[in-house]
Amino acid sequence: MYSKNMKYLNDFAAKELILDIGRRMYNRHYIAANDGNITCKTGPDTIWATPTGVSKGYMKTEELVKMNLDGKVLQQGALKPSSEIKMHLRIYRENPGVQGVCHAHPPVSTSFAIAGISLDKAIYPEALVNLGTVPVVHYEAPGSQGIPDSVAPYCNDYNALLLANHGALTWGESLMEAWYRLEALEHYAMILMYTGNIIGKANVLSCEQVQELVKIREKLGISTGGLPPCCAAKASNLTDVGVNQEIPGAEGKAQPSAAGTTAVNTADIEAIVQMVLKKLS
């Protein structure tokens, strides 16, 4: 949340954090070659930005570019800022409480962006509390002015977006928060892919369970992220699931097996493995 007394990272800390997040993005395969961009705000009208044409896994401090929120370069290394920095600048201008923005092409969330499927299933508490729902904004050519314009309406109510046929974009009150949201986004997308396309089943949280999570989110001071439209009227996840049947009288309690671990149905695992192998072949 914006306040006039906001504290910012100093130049040194901001540049170190951008380099660190660049390495994490690259090592996790969220980007390939020279993809992606990262920015960090260091004052009401200054940011540090990643340059164009360099792998974010191998950046050097002296390659980073200092800019103001109008896009004027204040201090430039050997390389120019990326053309995609325009969408970062727009987020900072629309929402002065934002201090960090990350953009990457993580494979699973980018696949959802290509399919035009928003991430809004109420199935996973952590995603709902820390990330919220993730809309897909319509396609605009990478680096074009169309992207900042398409992103603008979402900057104050959401924490992340999928850019159609392009990739993922997250922001936060700190660059670290923006990075964690990118991680959370790809993780959520992966879980949606497994439950929806490989396992083929998900118990959707009930409206009551979603409301409980929204209260937790409010207590954490998070007012952004939207609400999932598709929670179930009745909870379908309150019964323990035994080997071949539901265990009578076990509602809401964990049922350890004789060996002290949760019972696992090997036939189910075998069926899932076969489905995965079929999908991959």
- Residue number, 76 or 165, with CB nearest to Zn ion: 165
Q: How many residues bind Zn ion (CB under 5 A)?
A: 1
In the complex, least distance from residue 139 CB atom to Zn ion, rounded to whole angstroms: 12
Q: Which of residues 226-245 bind Zn ion (CB under 5 A)?
A: none
d(CA 263, CA 269): 12
- Residue written as token pair 């939207």: 226
In the complex, least distance from residue 162 CB atom to Zn ion, rounded to whole angstroms: 12
The residue at minimum Cβ distance from Zn ion is 167
- Residue number, 22 or 167, with CB nearest to Zn ion: 167
In the complex, least distance from residue 181 CB atom to Zn ion, rounded to whole angstroms: 16
- Residue number, 106 or 167, with CB nearest to Zn ion: 167
In the complex, least distance from residue 164 CB atom to Zn ion, rounded to whole angstroms: 12
- Residue number, 160 or 213, with CB nearest to Zn ion: 160
d(CA 25, CA 29): 6
CA-wise closest residue to 88 among 134, 138, 48, 135: 48
Q: Which of residues 110-169 bind Zn ion (CB under 5 A)?
A: 167
In the complex, least distance from residue 77 CB atom to Zn ion, rounded to whole angstroms: 21
- Residue written as token pair 């323990």: 240
CA-wise closest residue to 88 among 161, 14, 180, 12: 161
- Residue number, 128 or 185, with CB nearest to Zn ion: 185
d(CA 14, CA 31): 21
Q: Which of residues 161-180 bind Zn ion (CB under 5 A)?
A: 167
Contact assessment for residue 246 and residue 240, using Cβ atoms and an 8 Å cutoff: yes
- Residue written as token pair 């072949």: 281
User: Six-digit token pair at 150?
Assistant: 């398409």
Q: Site residues (CB under 5 A) for Zn ion?
A: 167
